[in-house]
Amino acid sequence: MTYELIVVGGGPAGLAAALAAREKGLTKILIIERDRELGGILNQCIHNGFGLHYFKEELTGPEYAGRFIKMLGGTGIEVMCDTMVLQVTRDKQVHCINPERGYQILEAKSIVLAMGCRERTRGAISIPGTRPAGVLTAGAAQRYVNIEGHMVGKRVVILGSGDIGLIMARRMTLEGAKVLACVEVMPYSGGLQRNIVQCLEDFDIPLYLSHTIIDIRGKNRVEGVTIAKVGPDRKPIKGSEIDFDCDTVLLSVGLIPENELTRNAGIELDPKTNGVAVWENMETSTPGVFASGNVVHVHDLVDYVTGESKLAGVAAAEYVKQGERSRKNAITVKEGKDVGFIVPLYIHREAMDAEIFFRVRRIFDKSVITVKDGDKVLAQLKRAHMAPGEMERVKLSRRLLDAVEGNEITVYAEEVDE
């Protein structure tokens, strides 16, 4: 049997895509999940703050996931947990393996890639020092503490001020550990402002900006770390060292979209994000294969993952029912100065509208976002404040897209005086 849609990954992206495709009339849908249950990383994100945009209420991660899992009931959407996808091919075969059915090759008319992302590890950032136990990624620690019920340490230094690191600073503190410091190499935090307030300031945990760990000590277990201030070149400054006695180092140093399947399928990736290069309807370079969520770019808010994934599901249904969209005369989206990356990279000429996501490279005060077609200004939006930790969104209506004469539009971020 051929599925109309196979969704790879049963986290928030995969769930929303499958449900949206079902709503648009697809009936033979399969979600494949490698964990024992649906919900993805939301299951270990027990803190609140999810769903304010999408459900207009404040939920914890498990509650947010639970809502979508409940919505599956009665839809006929099939779910295969404990199943690892090994390969996705260009002709839309999905090779997967699980303990019950062994190796299977499934056929699909369309595919949504929703594998999410994974954490950068110590190896990825090359921290000097010995190799003792007690150096974990923040997400691994989160899983140990929140799902398996094991404390991972008593005296903790956190490297990186991404949201997971901040959330774990609070979580470890509430569970009785002493978090000695949160150390960030950049001059600003990569996390949301609200998390700086409620996870660090609430518990008097110092945040060392423009600092990094230059040494990890300990034979069997971490015994201490040394941090140092870094210059604008991010190199440590001699004489600025501070020692901490700690037994645990948590790393919150970035997330990387998990795209082995995508790469092996010969689907285009965006080297700037390591994510899947997509069109405005979340279609990849291979027609009929779509991608959404953190496998495309790392989001701050699951609410936005849900929104984007619904687009992918709707587009998959459209592809199955109506066939391929024309790629003639496509509009390419480029980043201007101080814009780090852009999603999507391409817009179908006949698209009804297009939402553009991007991150700025540095902190901006009062500023404007300008979308230009050559020298012509298409749209201008004011912002009181922009930061790399906070994703920006610009919606281009059909009318604006109609006004595009060239084959390329560019998004600029500029500070304004006043």
Partner 1 sequence: MIDLICITCPRGCHLKVDEENGYAVSGNACPRGEVYGYNEVTNPKRVVTSTVRTSSREYPRCPVKTNGAIPKEKMFEAMALLDGITLETPIEEGEVVIENLFETGIDFVTCKAIN
49 binds partner 1 (CB under 8 A): yes
Question: Which CB, 129 or 190, lies closer to partner 1?
Answer: 190
The interaxial angle of helices 302-322 and 12-23, nearest 10 deg, is 40
Residue 208 CB, shortest distance to partner 1, in Å, is 19
Alpha-helical runs (H) found in 30-181:
61-72, 122-125, 138-143, 163-174
Residue 149 CB, shortest distance to partner 1, in Å, is 4
Question: Which CB, 193 or 264, lies closer to partner 1?
Answer: 193
Stretch that binds partner 1, among 40-48, 267-275, 325-333, 360-368 (CB under 8 A): 40-48
Stretch that binds partner 1, among 147-155, 182-190, 231-239, 261-269 (CB under 8 A): 147-155
Question: Which CB, 28 or 383, lies closer to partner 1?
Answer: 383
- Cβ atoms < 10 Å from Cβ of 186: 18
154, 376, 385, 395: which one contacts partner 1 (CB under 8 A)? Answer: 385
71 binds partner 1 (CB under 8 A): no
Number of alpha helices (DSSP H) and beta strands (DSSP E) in the chain: 9, 29
300, 338, 355, 415: which one contacts partner 1 (CB under 8 A)? Answer: 300
Residue whose token pair is 């291979």:
286
209 binds partner 1 (CB under 8 A): no
3-state secondary structure of 278: coil
25, 130, 202, 243: which one contacts partner 1 (CB under 8 A)? Answer: 202
3-state secondary structure of 134: coil
- Contacts (Cβ under 8 Å, ≥6 apart) of 131: none
Question: Which CB, 148 or 375, lies closer to partner 1?
Answer: 148
DSSP letter, residue 390: S
330 binds partner 1 (CB under 8 A): no
3-state secondary structure of 317: helix
78, 355, 390, 415: which one contacts partner 1 (CB under 8 A)? Answer: 390
- Cβ atoms < 10 Å from Cβ of 63: 16
198 binds partner 1 (CB under 8 A): yes
22, 34, 47, 348: which one contacts partner 1 (CB under 8 A)? Answer: 47
- DSSP assignments along 171-199, one per residue: HHHHTT-EEEEEE-SSSS-SS-HHHIIII
Is-contact 43 33, C-beta < 8 A?
no
What's the rounded Cα separation, in Å, for the pair 178 and 172? 7
What are the residues binding partner 1 (CB under 8 A)? 36, 43, 46-49, 52-53, 58, 60-63, 66, 145-149, 174-175, 192-194, 196-198, 202, 300-301, 384-385, 390
